Structures are given as C-alpha cells and as structure tokens.
C-alpha cells in the first residue's frame, strides 16, 4: 500500500502530494514498518530556521569561533566508574595535561560498587591530582545506573559548569578550554555543549553553522549547572543508554539550546572494534527508545510502542540470550509506562525519533579518525558567488570557518561585482579565519572558479559552491585520507542531497524538505565509471592544487557539468581516495520546474563534456 501512495504522489499537485506523503509516513509509523516520528521534519526545520535567523545579518560573536576569556570559571568534572581500573591512569594523565587552570577544577568520581580495585586505585591517585591543584572526591555507592551516579556528583558540586564524562576516554589538552570558551560566549539559554569524539565520531546530524543539535551524547558534555538543577538532573529510570537523550529532550522542553562543539575533542575508546554490538547497549538503548517515545513522542509514536516491542521479541537474536533480556526490558517498560505518560508536558519543542535512533544519521560512523598532523598543510577553499546570494554565502563561509582543520584560507570570487566584500570582511573578523575576496567582471562561474584556483596558495584545494555546506570535520577527514595515501592526488566523500524550497530566500529563509544520500555517490574510485557519469559532488573533493597548474581548470564556456569534466582531467592516470563518510551537503531545488530545468541543462551539457573528456584522454594516450 505504501508504494501505491508513493507512486500516486508523483502525479498529484504539490499540496496533495505532501498530504499523501504524510499519510504514507503515518501508516509506516503506526505499523512499526518504519517508525519515524512526524516530529522529525519539524525538528530539523527548527534547526534550519534558527540557522537562517542568526545568519540574516552580521553577528559580532560566533559561538563556534569564540574569543578566549580573560578569566576561566570553575568546572566540576563528574565521572561514574564501574570496574574501570584499566582506564584510570590514561584518563588521569590527560586531565593533568589539560591547559586549563587546575585550581578551577574539581573531580568527583562516583564508583557504582565496582567488583575490581577501581575504588582503591582512585583513592590512591587522588594525592597526585591534589598536588596539581585539582580538587578530588571519591564517592562509593550502590550501582543504580549511569545517570543516577552522575546525579550524586552533580548535586555535590557548585561550579557554574559541570563536565559529565566517561572514564574510558582521554582529553585533547585544549578541549576543555575550547568548550568552556564556547559556553561563555553562548546565549544565556544555551545549556549543553557536546565535545567531539575520536576515533569514531558520533554520526548524528548537527547544524554546521550554529552547532545546534536536537540531543547531546553524554560521553563527554559540558552542562550549565543552573539549567540542569532546574530540571532535576538525569532520569534515573534509565539505567544506562538513552539517559543523555532524555536529559537533552527535557532541557529543550524547558526552552534551552544544545550545541555540538567539534573544535573540542576527546578520544573515546568505547568500541574494541568497529560495528561492535554490546549486550547492555542493545537492551538499554532499545528500552530507552521505547520509554522516551512514551514520555516525549507524538500520539503515533506512543501507539507504535507495543508493535516495536513485539518486533524486538520476534527478531533474530543479536547475541546469545538477547531475546530473554529484551523480554525482561519490556516487562519493566510496562511497569514504568504510567510514570512516563504522567511526566508528559506541553512543549513547542519537537522530539524526533528515527526508527531506533533519534536523529538523522550520517554514513561513516566507523570511519576511523586520526590525530591532527603537527604541521597541517594549508588548504584553500574556493567559493564562487554573485550578488543576491548573501544568506547562502554567509552560511558557506561559516561552515568553512568552523572546520577542525585549522590551516585554511577561503577565497571568494564574485562574478560581476564587489557587493560581497563587506560580508567576507565581517566573517573574517568574527571567526578569525583568513578570507580573501576577489571582485571580477561578469564572466561566468567557470571563469570565477579558475580565478580562485589561480589565487590559491594551499597545497590542496576544495571548491565550495555558495549554497553548499560542510560539516566541521570535512577538510580534516579528506586531508587525513590523503596523508595516509601518498600515491593519491585527491580524496572525496559522499554527500547529502538537500532538497530545498527557496520561495522565501529573498526574505532570508528557506526550507529543507528532504535530506538523502544518492546511491550514485556511494562509489569507490573507478575511472571507467567516472568516464561514464559523475559521482563526485563538487564540494566533496579535496585535490592537489598542482593538478590545476598541470592540467588547467574549468572550461569557461561551460556552465553545467564543468566539474565532471574537471574531475575526468584530474583523475586520468591518477588515483582518488574514497572516504565513505558523509561530511557535506549540496542543494537541489524543491520546485519541480527548477528541478526539470536543471536536469535539462545537465542533459544538454553531457555530450559536450563527454566529447571533450574523450579528446583529452586520447591526447594523453598519444603523448604517452
């Protein structure tokens, strides 16, 4: 039936098509086939609306590029342990290496009745911390779960900020300073700032411009004490897994903002191997999802809970005994369901549920991340723009400024004017990043791209269209791929296609109607496939600038598929590295007429691009 509704939607006017789409989604949700909440679209829409609101005009402080304060506030660090002996020494060493005033730190370890010598080791190491000026307290208590343990530590402290962290991680020396600076520069109603995890970054969606997210992972997160105290801390119904989402949703219900801070990094050793399935994680996370649906979901999210529980029981065992453990979890869910339902409150916030997850998930969760090189090579980001694109350009520049790869220059070439110079100078001031502006006569996008590449001084170049966006790790992921594959001249990754309604773009707003990864972009490097069709989104490719020097730039008489022809020239006889991690977004129009015009332009340009590529290849073959 759902496929029938889907096919019908293609032949209906847009309002009716949207209605059939909603009906299809509601049907899939209620039956448990695809239990995605109707709150998902509004939840993302709220992030996008905030993005547009804060970038319609200049802002003196960018929370993701904050100034360093003159004085640093006190921070209470809360750590819950359970049989954690092997993590203590590296964790403590990384705490001692933090470049934060040690006298402003207090560590509280809450040991949940470990059966090994964790508590003894913590008490033995306390003098070392005290000698460095760090306050220490070790609290031993019955094991009532992760959130319950943190509640004990949080209630014992008084600092304005609390760092909730796992012990199975280590800190980058500058991470606490960076995240605290962000918190101090942020809006008063911002309440939580999540640190980035390596080697496996959390794959959930966050807004690359504002850093706002619908929920924070609490492996390592900075919390504003007043906000957490006001809502009562963690929900102790959740033993482990899901307690961070629950606290996030309760903070948002109270009107708070949540941020992701990619510049502040910790190394989290949660998985012994990629794609590892941990029994407690499986049972805890599924229980948490069902519980949160009862507490925060829409009526259809609640209705589907019994069906999802039944599906869990009927599913193949994930590990020996998993079905029995799931059955126990469902019995417990029945017992706590009245409490969850009674805790519901009216709210303007939207609480997403994506099947067994909570947010859009980006491909590449288990693409391993590496340490930053000591001397990172310069990367040149090149953006082509023209008058009337202020909102898009400001957002593209901010997504470039938020890159975790610190050594960058951003070159902006305006085709046909000088109207964007002031905007570029404004973003350079507010972010501290290097932005060069080039005014150009009206010569077309390909000419502008060539000017930008000619002006670039970096080892590597990336072509970022003004309406595309980069997640913060984009350059780092691609650059590290090249550093680990010295035979390659370029690296690339898949990208989300974001269908965008631009009816109100002149008023400084747009609506993202869909986020998806086209299957054609999941393509390991194969020159013969590239010779037939393009599978490289323009902003997803990081390439050696020397390629431009040796093989030239865009064909300036082409305004469509010019990037495909460029990649064919650069790829011939060379190797590109494919990184299967979504780290960027590009836009396509929601308006069917504009989408059709775009398709026609590509179809018309295809024979010319293909003919020129074949001519280039033939010339190279003869020269060889």
Q: Is the pLDDT of residue 241 over 70?
A: yes
Any domain includes 413: yes
Q: Tell me: do 484 and 537 sit in the same domain.
A: yes
**Tens-digit pLDDT profile for residues 224-239:** 999 999 999 999 999 9
Q: Is the pLDDT of residue 529 over 70?
A: yes
Q: Is the pLDDT of residue 193 over 90?
A: yes
Any domain includes 480: yes
CATH number for the domain that contains residue 146? 3.90.550.10
Number of domains in the chain: 3
Any domain includes 350: no
Any domain includes 149: yes
pLDDT at 1: 39
**Tens-digit pLDDT profile for residues 451-480:** 999 999 999 999 999 999 999 999 999 999
- Average pLDDT value for the chain: 93
Q: Is the separation of the CB atoms in 533 and 489 below 8 Å?
A: no
Q: Tell me: do 418 and 563 sit in the same domain.
A: yes
**Tens-digit pLDDT profile for residues 335-346:** 999 999 999 999
Q: Is the pLDDT of residue 5 over 80?
A: no
How many CB atoms neighbour CB 533 within 10 A? 12
Domain range holding 502? Answer: 379-623
Q: Which of 30-44, 185-199, 291-305, 539-553 has the lowest mean pLDDT?
A: 30-44
Span 207-230, average pLDDT: 98
Band of the pLDDT at 303, cuts 50, 70, 90?
A: very high
For residues 262 and 63, what is the distance between their CA atoms, to the nearest angstrom? 12
pLDDT at 308: 94
* Token pair 């997160």: residue: 221
Any domain includes 199: yes
Q: Tell me: do 338 and 384 sit in the same domain.
A: no
Q: Tell me: do 334 and 470 sit in the same domain.
A: no
Q: Is the pLDDT of residue 6 over 60?
A: no
Q: Tell me: do 520 and 602 sit in the same domain.
A: yes
pLDDT at 35: 87
Q: Tell me: do 286 and 211 sit in the same domain.
A: no
**Tens-digit pLDDT profile for residues 310-328:** 999 988 988 899 899 999 9
Band of the pLDDT at 10, cuts 50, 70, 90?
A: very low
pLDDT at 61: 80
**Tens-digit pLDDT profile for residues 34-79:** 789 999 999 999 999 999 999 998 877 888 999 999 999 999 999 9
Q: Where are the alpha helices (DSSP H) in 157-200?
A: 175-185
**Tens-digit pLDDT profile for residues 358-375:** 999 999 999 999 999 999
Band of the pLDDT at 14, cuts 50, 70, 90?
A: low
- With a pLDDT cut of 90, the percent of the chain lying above it is 89
Q: Tell me: do 181 and 212 sit in the same domain.
A: yes
User: In the listed set 243, 268, 293, which residue is the last one of a domain according to the structure?
Assistant: 268
Q: Tell me: do 279 and 324 sit in the same domain.
A: yes
Residue 540 is given by DSSP the state G
pLDDT at 624: 76
For residues 460 and 475, what is the distance between their CA atoms, to the nearest angstrom? 10
For residues 101 and 133, what is the distance between their CA atoms, to the nearest angstrom? 9
- With a pLDDT cut of 70, the percent of the chain lying above it is 94
**Tens-digit pLDDT profile for residues 135-182:** 999 999 999 999 999 999 999 999 999 999 999 999 999 999 999 999
Beta bridge partners of residue 50, listed in sequence order: none
pLDDT at 2: 39
Band of the pLDDT at 22, cuts 50, 70, 90?
A: low
Q: What is the DSSP string of 335-351?
A: HHHHHHHHT----SS--
Q: Is the separation of the CB atoms in 493 and 581 below 8 Å?
A: yes
User: In the listed set 268, 297, 316, which residue is the last one of a domain according to the structure?
Assistant: 268
Q: Tell me: do 314 and 247 sit in the same domain.
A: no
Any domain includes 441: yes
For residues 535 and 528, what is the distance between their CA atoms, to the nearest angstrom? 12
The residue among 495, 568, 485 whose CA lies nearest residue 534 is 568
User: In the listed set 342, 362, 395, which residue is the last one of a domain according to the structure?
Assistant: 342
Q: Tell me: do 152 and 230 sit in the same domain.
A: yes
Q: Tell me: do 327 and 401 sit in the same domain.
A: no
Any domain includes 21: no
pLDDT at 87: 97
Q: Is the pLDDT of residue 3 over 60?
A: no
Any domain includes 369: no
Structure tokens at 77: 């660090």
Q: Tell me: do 297 and 432 sit in the same domain.
A: no
């Amino acid at each position: 039936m759902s496929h029938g509704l889907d096919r019908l939607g293609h032949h209906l006017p847009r309002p009716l098509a949207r209605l059939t789409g909603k009906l299809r989604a509601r049907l899939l949700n209620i039956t448990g086939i695809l239990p995605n909440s109707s709150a998902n679209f509004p939840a993302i829409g709220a992030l996008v609306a905030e993005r547009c609101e804060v970038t319609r005009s200049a802002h003196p402080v960018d929370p993701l590029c904050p100034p360093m304060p003159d004085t640093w506030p006190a921070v209470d660090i809360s750590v819950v342990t359970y049989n954690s002996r092997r993590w203590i020494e590296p964790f403590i060493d990384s705490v001692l290496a933090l470049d934060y005033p040690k006298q402003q730190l207090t560590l509280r370890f809450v040991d949940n009745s470990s059966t090994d010598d964790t508590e003894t080791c913590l008490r033995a190491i306390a003098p070392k911390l005290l000698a460095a000026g760090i306050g220490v307290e070790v609290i031993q208590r019955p094991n009532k779960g992760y959130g319950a343990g943190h509640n004990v530590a949080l209630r014992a402290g008084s600092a304005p900020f609390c760092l909730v962290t796992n012990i199975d991680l280590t800190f980058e020396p500058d991470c606490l300073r960076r995240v605290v600076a962000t918190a101090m520069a942020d809006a008063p109603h911002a309440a939580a700032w999540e640190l980035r995890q390596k080697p496996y970054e959390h794959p959930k969606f966050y807004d690359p411009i504002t850093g706002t997210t619908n929920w924070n992972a609490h492996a390592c997160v900075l919390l504003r004490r007043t906000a957490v105290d006001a809502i009562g801390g963690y929900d102790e119904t959740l033993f482990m897994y899901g307690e961070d989402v629950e606290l996030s949703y309760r903070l948002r219900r109270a009107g708070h903002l949540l941020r992701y801070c990619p510049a502040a990094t910790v190394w989290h050793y949660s998985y012994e191997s990629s794609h590892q399935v941990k029994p407690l994680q499986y049972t805890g996370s599924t229980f948490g999802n069902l519980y949160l649906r009862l507490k925060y979901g829409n009526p259809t999210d609640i209705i589907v809970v019994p069906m999802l529980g039944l599906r869990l029981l009927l599913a193949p065992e994930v590990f020996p005994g998993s079905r029995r453990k799931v059955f126990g979890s469902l019995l417990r869910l029945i017992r706590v369901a009245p409490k969850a339902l009674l805790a519901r409150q009216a709210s303007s916030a939207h609480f997403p549920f994506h099947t067994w997850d909570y947010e859009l998930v980006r491909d590449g969760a288990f693409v391993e991340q590496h340490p930053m090189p000591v001397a990172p090579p310069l990367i040149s980001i090149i953006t082509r723009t023209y008058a009337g694109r202020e909102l898009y350009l400001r957002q593209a520049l901010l997504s470039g400024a938020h890159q975790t790869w610190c050594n960058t220059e951003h070159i902006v070439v305006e085709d046909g004017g000088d109207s964007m110079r002031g905007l570029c100078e404004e973003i350079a001031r507010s972010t501290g990043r290097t932005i060069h502006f080039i005014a150009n006569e009206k010569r077309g996008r390909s000419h502008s791209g060539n000017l930008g590449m000619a002006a670039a001084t970096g080892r590597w170049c990336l072509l970022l269209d003004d309406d595309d966006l980069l997640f913060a790790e984009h350059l780092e992921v691609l650059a590290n791929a090249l550093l680990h594959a010295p035979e390659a001249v370029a690296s690339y990754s898949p990208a989300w296609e974001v269908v965008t309604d631009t009816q109100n773009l002149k008023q400084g707003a747009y609506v993202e109607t869909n986020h998806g990864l086209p299957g054609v972009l999941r393509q390991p490097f194969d020159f013969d496939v590239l010779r037939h069709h393009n599978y490289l989104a323009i902003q997803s490719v990081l390439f050696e600038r020397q390629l431009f020097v040796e093989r030239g730039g865009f064909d300036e008489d082409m305004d469509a598929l010019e990037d495909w022809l460029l990649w064919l020239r650069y790829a011939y006889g060379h190797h590109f590295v494919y990184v299967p991690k979504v780290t960027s977004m590009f836009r396509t129009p929601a308006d069917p007429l504009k989408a059709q015009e775009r398709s026609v332009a590509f179809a018309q340009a295809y024979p010319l691009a293909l003919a020129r590529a074949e001519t280039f290849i033939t010339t190279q073959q003869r020269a060889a």
